[in-house]
Amino acid sequence: MPRANYLKGMVGGLAGTIALSAFMVMKDRMGIMPQFDMVGMLATMLGGSRAAAWVMHFLIGTVAWGALFVWLQPYLPGGHYWLRGTWFGIGAWALMMILVMPMAGAGPFAVKLGMMVTAATLILHAMYGAVLGSVYAAERPEPAHPLPA
């Protein structure tokens, strides 16, 4: 995998994180699902401030998920990058639901916060992935060479 693709994936991850974050901020401003404050949960888990939680949120979405998408995307279903990104975002959501939510005290799949939180975060992560994949495609990444079957 060409090294330049990882930077392109991180740019896509940044764009996806900005889009997801904009919806999170709008949700908070409109008072929708006040029981779900991902940044507050992350701040509590980190033992730090909301500012530190926002930095961590952007680092995860940009660096970790952006690079991981580049590595995994040749093996994801869908012919278009936006579709592969959507599947990747759904995978990221599943990991969050299985690992992060229980650590934050919300239970697996955020059962303690209600089904609306589970559904809304699924939609947000699918959107994140679609933006990531679309921006990555617009950057014209070098072709990947998947492992032989």
The pLDDT score that the predictor gives to residue 78 is: 87
- Mean predicted confidence (pLDDT) in 47-74: 95
Residue 149 covered by a domain:
no
State the pLDDT at residue 146: 55
Q: Is residue 31 part of a domain?
A: yes
Q: Is the dihedral of CA 98, 103, 108, 114 positive or negative?
A: negative
97 in Cβ contact with 118 (< 8 Å): yes
- Give which of 51, 46, 27, 47 is closest to 37, Cα–Cα: 27
pLDDT, residue 34, reads 85
Q: Is 57's pLDDT higher than 60?
A: yes
Predicted local confidence at residue 35, as pLDDT: 85
CA–CA distance, 146 with 54 (Å, rounded to integer): 34
Say if 113 falls within a structural domain.
yes
Confirm whether 143 is domain-assigned. Answer: no
**Once rounded to an integer, what is the mean pLDDT over residues 58-82?**
95
pLDDT in tens, 76-132: 998 899 999 999 999 999 999 999 999 989 999 999 999 999 999 999 999 999 999
- Looking at residue 59, what is its pLDDT? 97
Residue 78 lies in a domain: yes
Q: What's the domain count of the chain? A: 1
C-alpha to C-alpha distance for 82 and 75, rounded to whole angstroms: 14
pTM equals 0.90
Residue 147 lies in a domain: no
Which stretch of 25-34, 67-76, 90-99 has the lowest confidence by average pLDDT?
Answer: 25-34
Which pLDDT score, from 0 to 100, does residue 3 have?
Answer: 83
Q: Is residue 100 domain-resident? A: yes
3-class SS string, the chain: CCHHHHHHHHHHHHHHHHHHHHHHHHHHHHCCCCCCCHHHHHHHHHCCCHHHHHHHHHHHHHHHHHHHHHHHHHHCCCCCHHHHHHHHHHHHHHHHHHHHHHHCCCCHHHCCCCHHHHHHHHHHHHHHHHHHHHHHHHCCCCCCCCCCC
- 35 in any annotated domain: yes
pLDDT value at 147 more than 90: no
Domain boundaries, position 42: 3-138
